[in-house]
């Protein structure tokens, strides 16, 4: 009999993550938080429900300052389901959207090409498999860019992200952590990122 991959279940929160001032984090507070604060939030959050992600794009903000220089600090992530009859709990699909690089307090504007937003960095998204190499945050979902929709030699195929939901009663706000897959099991941390539900998917 073939053994089934072991997937993680969302943990029960004994205490929700709070800012040093005792208030809940919102989008801006997470975007401006220290790495130590963000790591704490990553570890005590719950797993998002994939079904609640499908059909939406989330505005995104990378916390690492170098991403501003690279022109990728602001972005959007979209979620959809290639197989409409599949159970989203087993995995969904997604993409990134290029946006205008303006300030944190300004709106997110898609970059447009031939009348459409520019989608790239496609990925698969699903529960973390505890028996797999990428299992750092079993309380979250894994975003794996090593999928066939990206060109064979596209550098984005090396990306591995985890996303968590800080508050069980708010599925509009998510926190993520991005890595680059190096040789074998080695992973290089890049940046935390914040996501918030923004508009319906254009797919």
Spell out the per-residue pLDDT of the chain, length 203, in tens.
444 444 433 444 458 999 999 999 999 999 999 999 999 999 999 999 999 999 999 999 999 988 888 888 999 999 999 999 999 999 999 999 999 999 999 999 999 999 999 999 999 999 999 999 999 999 999 999 999 999 999 999 999 999 999 999 999 999 999 999 999 999 999 999 999 999 999 88
Per residue in 125-174, pLDDT (tens digit) is: 999 999 999 999 999 999 999 999 999 999 999 999 999 999 999 999 99
pTM, two decimal places: 0.91
Contacts by residues 32-40 (CB-CB < 8 Å, ≥ 24 positions apart): 33/63, 35/63, 35/192, 38/63, 38/175, 38/177, 38/192
> Where do the domains of the chain lie?
27-200
Tokens 């300052």, residue located: 65
| 167 CB burial (10 A radius; 0-12, 13-18, 19+) | middle
Taking domain 27-200, whether its CATH number is 2.40.128 is answered by: yes
User: Distance between CA atoms of 138 and 87, rounded to whole angstroms?
Assistant: 20
């Amino acid at each position: 009999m073939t053994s089934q991959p072991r997937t993680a279940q969302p943990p029960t929160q004994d205490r929700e993550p709070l800012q040093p001032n005792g208030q809940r984090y919102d989008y801006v507070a997470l975007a401006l938080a220290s790495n130590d604060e963000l790591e704490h939030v990553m570890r005590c959050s719950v797993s998002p429900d994939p079904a609640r992600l499908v059909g939406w794009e989330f505005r995104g903000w990378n916390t690492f300052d170098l991403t501003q220089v690279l022109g990728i600090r602001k972005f959007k992530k979209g979620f959809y389901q290639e197989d409409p009859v599949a159970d989203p709990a087993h995995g969904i699909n997604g993409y990134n959207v290029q946006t205008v690089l303006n300030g944190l307090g300004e709106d997110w504007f898609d970059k447009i090409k031939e009348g459409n937003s520019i989608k790239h960095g496609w990925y698969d998204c699903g529960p973390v498999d505890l028996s797999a190499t990428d299992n750092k945050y079993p309380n979250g979902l894994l975003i794996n860019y090593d999928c066939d929709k990206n060109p064979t030699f596209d550098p984005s195929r090396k990306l591995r992200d985890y996303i968590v939901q800080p508050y069980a009663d708010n599925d509009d706000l998510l926190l993520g952590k991005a890595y680059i897959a190096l040789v074998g099991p080695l992973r290089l941390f890049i940046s935390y990122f914040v996501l918030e539900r923004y508009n319906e998917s254009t797919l």
